Chain A
């Protein structure tokens, strides 16, 4: 019996030994690292990415920190990462993406990159604003950029931060112009278009204000409807609002509510009216999506990386991306849209780019 007891004891010992082995794997290499240099963790994270400096400027290291939306949000985290990928490909930059899973990740993610001497650190989305501001103050030598938040709106106005803003109203104006012409063509007496917003926050507001102004410019008789879902995720909410608008006569639905807005486009599909996508080109959803209002976060990231590389990056101010710079614009236009409408919209796009249309409003009035 005591033999059995010993057997079981040795089994337990073996188990503990296995555990110790697991821990030991960690300890061995750590000791090696620690004896070498304290910067070892930084070195390990970048091994194997030292290739592809085929372009003109010096190879730079770019860190991208997403907000809690994650990389597959099909919106600006996704687009920002695309921009970084392009910079890696075309500019030979080294890139590292850190996904934030909770808001407690923002500051450690940003400061980890800063500590590892990255040349540019991009924070994606206005949720990161406070974290970017705090970390930028602690690392005044590092370049930071933040998407959708103005450097001028930061309390301490750090000189090493650049805000990357978009003139969403110009993209909104273009899709609004297209919708205005579209209803003039088809809807007869009832000429109504509508928009579904997530929340009345500045970027959403700019899109919708531009949309309404564009539609009115194209077709003074047009009636506009607008509603907010107070949500950016739940598709059912946006669908309900869109269905309501369609019941009230809307024949074009513009979604400005991220994932929630896909429900609005779905409603347009069901009711056989036209839909307009937002941020990314959402034409892949089907023929009912006549076009999309694009906000090219990827372009913004790419151009910022380029600026850091050729030394023209300057903190302490904002970059504004508009139609002229190609930062916002139109997605692919569906084949069902008549050619003369497409031509007219393209003309308006050129006018905006040339600075001939400047009085596009940024906020939606009442009604």
Chain B
């Protein structure tokens, strides 16, 4: 987002040249990207947690560090700290090898971590959906709608077509789900490219289209409502067929273990990075994002890139919905459609991750840990009241988004100090 060289952003002093060294604009940008790019999100997060801590203190009177520790443990990330001597099975073989962490059911941390990583999968993908459009200079608020489009398609394909071999069935469902996300987002890109309709408005409106289409399809009397025995009064879809469920590679498949979609999310991060940084398409997308006029002058079709960037964004979000359905959810209830907000959390993920692959990977982990860690099953009621627990996530989430927007302020404060220093140096001289 902030591509202008900030006033004194980062450590640009060169000791060899003394105080008069004036870095070039390019050097400043480079340093900003390296140092400021990490420091500001970090500061943002710390500030958000600090203020969240004050709120905890004010509302509960308990030590906020105890609460944060409980959230940390609830997220299962403490699993990595419980190093010991255990064994792990090698896939497709009977043999077991030594492993430093306990992967068995004895470890509660492992169970919590599985839940965190399940949420992580969808957050990475919805985060990328927002980030990719951002790099093309567009704000995709429609991650939720594109996620739903993918989920609806996946539940339909997954519960139909019996007899298709499992692998093929999953593939068809994933492709169809991702594609419907792409088309759904592509509409917004197309409207922007052709008639200049602002993508913020059109994606927000498309969110409602997806929501109500889902409610219509699975609601009472809807065409895709379940045909279970006695199910005509329940507004839910059919379950996806056994063979189209994703393999669970860690944990109990029946108790919501971690599915192989996890690797798809990791692969998506790599694809995102390669597409943006190592392909012509990515170059064009970024060029349009920096300055559409200059890109057009340089011979890049801005309209084409708008449509493509939105479609690729939608692919990520659609994939998130698909993997959630095939990985653990297996059905869609109209209530789920209303309650779900994973696509909106994706916006916060992309903002905090500064639209980079590594940034999204890290901030998605933060938000997934927060979402799962603040679940009441992980927070001792003695430490934090169950009624308030989930609001804490929303609070920290809101603060993070607020401070990400306020990074200008942080840079400004840096700038004041720098100028003061320069003045001081001058008077000393």
Contact = CB atoms under 8 A, between A and B. Distances in A.
A108 B377 contact: yes
Interface string A22-60: 110111011100100010011011011000000000000
A41 B108 contact: yes
A31 B82 CA distance: 6
B293 interface: no
A47 B382 contact: yes
A68 B376 CA distance: 13
Given A26-B72, A41-B108, A103-B339, A8 B15 contact: no
Contacts, number: 135
Contacts of B108: 38, 41-42, 112, 115
Contacts of A47: 380, 382
Interface in B320-366: 328-329, 331, 333, 335-336, 339-340
Contact of B255 (A2, A107, A130, A199): A107
Contact of A5 (B11, B107, B252): B11
Given A98-B386, A138-B254, 18 more contacts: A25-B65, A30-B73, A30-B81, A31-B82, A38-B106, A41-B73, A47-B380, A96-B381, A97-B376, A97-B381, A99-B386, A109-B375, A111-B256, A127-B333, A127-B335, A130-B331, A199-B220, A199-B235
A202 interface: yes
Interface string A241-259: 0000000000000000000
A104 B118 contact: yes
Interface string A68-105: 10111000000000000000000000001111011111
Contacts of B73: 26, 30, 41
Contacts of B106: 38
B235 to A, nearest CB: 8
A194 B357 CA distance: 58
Contacts of A2: 13, 15
A193 to B, nearest CB: 24
A27 B339 contact: no
B421 interface: yes
B387 A31 contact: no
Given A104-B256, A108-B377, A99 B389 contact: yes
Given A8-B11, A27-B78, A96-B381, A103 B234 contact: no
6 contacts: A4-B13, A5-B15, A98-B386, A102-B340, A108-B115, A138-B254
Nearest to A101: B390
A162 to B, nearest CB: 19
Interface residues of A, number: 59
A102 B386 contact: no
A104 B328 contact: yes
Interface of B: 11, 13, 15, 18-19, 39, 42, 46, 65, 68-69, 72-73, 78, 81-82, 84, 102, 105-109, 111, 115, 118-119, 219-220, 230, 233-235, 252, 254-256, 328-329, 331, 333, 335-336, 339-340, 375-377, 380-382, 386-387, 389-390, 421, 425
A106 to B, nearest CB: 9
A121 to B, nearest CB: 12
Contacts of A101: 375, 390
A25 B376 contact: no
Contacts of A124: none
A126 B13 contact: no
Given A22-B65, A41-B108, A4 B421 contact: yes
B78 to A, nearest CB: 5
Contact of A98 (B72, B328, B377): B377
Contact of B84 (A5, A34, A48, A112): A34
B19 A102 contact: no
Contact of A31 (B81, B255, B328, B421): B81
A339 interface: no
Contact of B380 (A45, A130, A199): A45
A99 B376 contact: yes
A281 B390 CA distance: 28
A22 B387 CA distance: 25
Most buried by B among A19, A42, A48, A107: A107
A38 to B, nearest CB: 4
A298 to B, nearest CB: 18
B339 A99 contact: no
Contacts of A189: none
Contacts of A109: 375-377
A223 interface: no
A1 B82 contact: no
Nearest to B102: A38
A351 interface: no
A108 B256 contact: yes
Contacts of B386: 71, 97-99
B65 A137 contact: no
Contacts of B333: 103, 127
